[in-house]
Amino acid sequence: MIPFIPGDFNPAYLLCIAGILAALSPSKTGRGIIGLIGIGLGLLQLRSLGVGQMDSAIYYGVMEIAGYEFIPLRMDKLSVIFATIFHIAALINVIYGWSHATRLESSMGLIYAGSAIGGALAGDLLTLFSFWELAAISSVFIVWAGGTHAAFKAGMRYLVVQVLSGLTLLAGIVLHLSRGGSSEFGKFTLMGEAGVDPVAALILFAFGLKAAFPLLHTWLQDSYPKATPVGAVLLSAFTTKLAIYTLVRGFEGTGILIPIGCVMTAFPVFFALIENDLRKVLSYSLNNQLGFMVCAIGIGGPLAINGAAGHAFVHIIYKALLFMGMGAVVVRVGTAKATELGGLHKSMPWTTVFTIIGAMSISAFPLFSGFVAKSMITLAAAEAHMLFAYLVLLFASAGVLEHSGIKIPYFAFFAHDRFAPSVTGRERPKEAPRPMLIAMGIAAFLCLAVGFYPPILYGLLPYETDYHAYTFEHVATQMQLLMFAILAFMLLVKYKLYPDEVRSTNLDVDWLWRVPGRRLVEWGVPTVARLWHLIWNNLRALNVLVVRGLTMVHGPGGRLSRSLSVGLSAGSTGIVLAIVLILTFLN
Amino acid sequence: MSDHPKIRPEERSMWETPEMLKRLWIIVPATCVLFGLMNIVLAVMHKTHPHFTIDKFPVFYGVVGFLSFSFIVLAGQHLRKILMREEGYYDGEEAMLPRPGEDPRVYADDRDLEEDGE
């Protein structure tokens, strides 16, 4: 326990306070130091709060307001593993951005990390919603910090999607509570006895938007590559993994997630192959990795959930490492486009080594972190005897090797040397700045540490496990898969069947709303305006007509405003009375 | 790993020499054979735990790796025929700008660039 911090203080607030202070700090070094202190205190506070088992969580700060029970902190092994990795990611980010993060990125990055931590530790639905929205709003500034007009527009699209996710979540929560559901964020049942539960479906949609489910994924590939080198690393860590956490918590064992996860792992492989911007390749790769986790969540059970949480943990580190490597290239060369890169290993050897460590981790080579986590997911699919899912996961593993394992390091650091002094007439680009190298070094060390000594990871997993990644069989099968795939790569390059990189934009489903959707709006706005004018003009004409008619009847000199004699009034009253009397007698 | 027609021989690193390429062509197939054999030995010793019928075949994973990778590359590149557009398709010329505009008030100054200036 930290003496000057209350015992049940939320670590998320520590990061948010650090973010606000960082915004006020005059110097970059000051911002960096504030970030380090905030994250350090957050980690200490997280540890001092303790960890409960999956079925006996520790709660803090529970209070009831108007019948709703707020649980700001729920500490169990699942929430703590995510909160821990979010702290580590934030730490790496602060170091990486030590000399390159803007004021906006430093401060919003800390608030963004804090909101992801708060979301992971939130025990009730409204607290989750608050952090869910805070993450959306703080992260859009990081997209906008990209600085270009394209980044601004991508940020707007990003914001629309994130806010839509938040609103859907809120709608789901309100409906859930109004039918007497518990305020605690627990498991939802998508398929009840009466078919699909619409409330659970709404909440799943909200989570799925942030987890970048297929067809809902384009905000990710649209915005991340347009952020700055530092911003992309920040963005890669939090939003989607918070969504993975909520899926684990809310939809473990929901069958529909298996096909969704399978599609998610498989389709980005093809898009990553033809993409030229290497940071966009990494964004597709991110989608593919999330697919593994979503698939595991669909399978359910201790092994699969351990796999999903463990994979999220190691994935955040190696994905950040790859984004950091490409970010360093952008800092030095100004672009991450494969067509403009190559041969950088000669002048950026450390960046090359670190990126290759990230690439080997994501490809799940034995002794690297990806291997110890991903094998749990594939094993869970095999043990559940899901042959199709198993084959798709193997296919996707070969795909990961293609785009992240080979393409990223090969085109950036090897392939065609475009920076030779005899070609450019200039010196080669320099090695990455020192803070960036330190951050990459830490991430690379963590990838290797988990790969060499998996108990570091296994101790943090939600369920007790006696899983051993390093059996002869696992190593032999995984190495076969990878080495035969590399052999295929070498043969394809040798026989010139591997596609060259081309400067291009590749369409994805967002084309539907960015081109025809936009035209529809552009056509729709004046059309609706014209229609409205038509209706309004006719209504006005009708109004004039009615008023004129009324004036003719009731106005001065109108038929109903003539003055009549008293005798006529008495006579007509007598007639009415007579009619009433006759009718009464007849009855 | 690939040919570099434009650069001078002395600009090549140790990773770009023909000898390295030759070595790679020995190492990679040898590793394939090694792990293939390892799996066969494990299968003969009944130390494998296949979960389905097809993965009883000892080099199943090698075949899957090879075929998957080849399929992705050979089939995937045809997607370009449908999906590929010119670089500035969505955002016009701004999409082609090499890097964010560096307004010194907004963008952090690069220490290493400062060092360059000295």
pLDDT, tens digit, for every residue of B49-58?
888 988 888 8
A102: nearest CB among B2, B68, B106: B106
Q: Is B101 contained in some domain?
A: no
**Percent of chain B at pLDDT exceeding 70:** 73
| Inter-chain touch A487–B42, beta carbons under 8 Å | no
* Mean pLDDT, rounded, for A88-93: 97
| Inter-chain touch A508–B89, beta carbons under 8 Å | no
Which chain B residues contact residue A334 at CB under 8 A? 98-99
Q: Is B89 contained in some domain?
A: no
Confidence of residue B1 (pLDDT cuts 50, 70, 90): very low
Amino acid (1-letter code) at residue A571:
G
Which chain A residues contact residue B44 at CB under 8 A? none
Q: For residues A328 and A465, which has the higher predicted lDDT (pLDDT)?
A: A328
Which chain A residues contact residue B55 at CB under 8 A? 382
* Mean pLDDT, rounded, for A235-251: 96
Amino acid B99: pLDDT: 46
| Inter-chain touch A390–B108, beta carbons under 8 Å | no
* Mean pLDDT, rounded, for A495-509: 91
* SS3 call for A464: coil
* Mean pLDDT, rounded, for A206-214: 96
Q: Is B29 contained in some domain?
A: yes
Amino acid B41: pLDDT: 93
Amino acid B102: pLDDT: 47
The four Cα atoms A197, A162, A92, A71 give a dihedral, to 10 degrees, of: -50
What mean pLDDT, rounded, does chain A reach? Answer: 93
Indicate the helix (H) or strand (E) that contains A267.
helix A257-274
* SS3 call for A191: strand
A148: nearest CB among B25, B74, B94: B94
Q: Is B95 contained in some domain?
A: no
Amino acid A281: pLDDT: 96
Which residue of B lies nearest to A509 if distances are taken between CA atoms?
A: B83
Amino acid B116: pLDDT: 42
| Inter-chain touch A489–B35, beta carbons under 8 Å | no
Q: What are the C-alpha distances in Å from A135 to residues A165, A279, A312?
A: 12, 22, 18
- The alpha carbon of A93 is separated from its chain's Cα centroid by a whole number of angstroms, namely 17
The pLDDT of residue B97 is above 80? no
Amino acid A73: pLDDT: 94
Q: Is B113 contained in some domain?
A: no
CA distance B114 to chain A (A): 11
Asked if residue A443 lies in contact with residue A321, where contact means CB atoms within 8 angstroms, the answer is yes
Give A544-555 pLDDT, tens digit per residue.
999 999 988 888
Assigned token pair, A239:
């939003």
Give A467-496 pLDDT, tens digit per residue.
888 999 999 999 999 999 999 999 999 999
* SS3 call for A102: coil
CA distance A273 to chain B (A): 7
Q: Is B86 contained in some domain?
A: no
A–B CB contacts, 8 A cutoff, strictly below? 229
Domain count, chain B: 1
Whole-number Å distance between alpha carbons of A345 and A419: 10
CA atoms within 13 A on the CB side of A391: 11
Amino acid B94: pLDDT: 62
Assigned token pair, B26:
């020995």
Whole-number Å distance between alpha carbons of A234 and A231: 5
**Percent of chain A at pLDDT exceeding 90:** 84
Which chain A residues contact residue B111 at CB under 8 A? 99, 433
Amino acid A251: pLDDT: 96
Who contacts A238 (Cβ-Cβ below 8 Å, separation ≥6)? Answer: A86, A89, A112, A113, A115, A116, A135, A139
The pLDDT of residue A146 is above 60? yes
Confidence of residue A543 (pLDDT cuts 50, 70, 90): very high
Give B55-90 pLDDT, tens digit per residue.
888 889 999 999 999 999 999 999 999 999 988 888
Indicate the helix (H) or strand (E) that contains A68.
strand A68-70
Whole-number Å distance between alpha carbons of B87 and B101: 19
CA distance A482 to chain B (A): 6
Reference A142, options A224, A229, A31, A231; nearest CA is A231
Confidence of residue A89 (pLDDT cuts 50, 70, 90): very high
Amino acid A66: pLDDT: 86
Q: Is B36 contained in some domain?
A: yes
* Mean pLDDT, rounded, for A157-161: 95
* Mean pLDDT, rounded, for A207-226: 95
CA distance B63 to chain A (A): 7
Amino acid A436: pLDDT: 96
| Inter-chain touch B84–A346, beta carbons under 8 Å | no
CA distance B20 to chain A (A): 13
Whole-number Å distance between alpha carbons of A128 and A466: 32
Give A49-63 pLDDT, tens digit per residue.
999 998 889 999 999
Whole-number Å distance between alpha carbons of A180 and A199: 12
Reference A355, options A259, A285, A459; nearest CA is A285
Whole-number Å distance between alpha carbons of A309 and A460: 9
Amino acid B95: pLDDT: 57
Reference A282, options A317, A228, A222, A322; nearest CA is A322
Whole-number Å distance between alpha carbons of B29 and B32: 5
- The alpha carbon of B47 is separated from its chain's Cα centroid by a whole number of angstroms, namely 33
Q: Is B116 left (phi over 0), alpha (psi -120 to 50) or beta?
A: alpha
The pLDDT of residue B110 is above 50? no
Amino acid B108: pLDDT: 41
Give A293-340 pLDDT, tens digit per residue.
999 999 999 999 999 999 999 999 999 999 999 999 999 998 899 998
Which chain A residues contact residue B24 at CB under 8 A? 490
Amino acid A441: pLDDT: 97
Assigned token pair, B6:
């434009």
CA distance A90 to chain B (A): 19
Which residue of A lies nearest to B84 if distances are taken between CA atoms?
A: A506
Which chain B residues contact residue A507 at CB under 8 A? 82-85, 89
Asked if residue A390 lies in contact with residue B60, where contact means CB atoms within 8 angstroms, the answer is no
C-beta atoms surrounding A233 within 10 Å: 33
* Mean pLDDT, rounded, for A536-565: 88
* Mean pLDDT, rounded, for A232-238: 95
Note the maximum CA span of chain B.
Answer: 69
Which residue of A lies nearest to B33 if distances are taken between CA atoms?
A: A480
Q: Is B52 contained in some domain?
A: yes
The pLDDT of residue B2 is above 50? no
Q: What are the C-alpha distances in Å from B109 to residues A19, A100, A438?
A: 20, 7, 19
Amino acid B96: pLDDT: 52
Containing structural domain, residue B30: 1-79
What DSSP state is assigned to residue A339? G
Whole-number Å distance between alpha carbons of B15 and A365: 21
Q: What are the C-alpha distances in Å from A467 to residues A379, A455, A571, B45?
A: 10, 10, 106, 22
Q: Identify the residue whose tokens are 């390091």.
A: A409
Whole-number Å distance between alpha carbons of B6 and A82: 49
Amino acid A150: pLDDT: 87
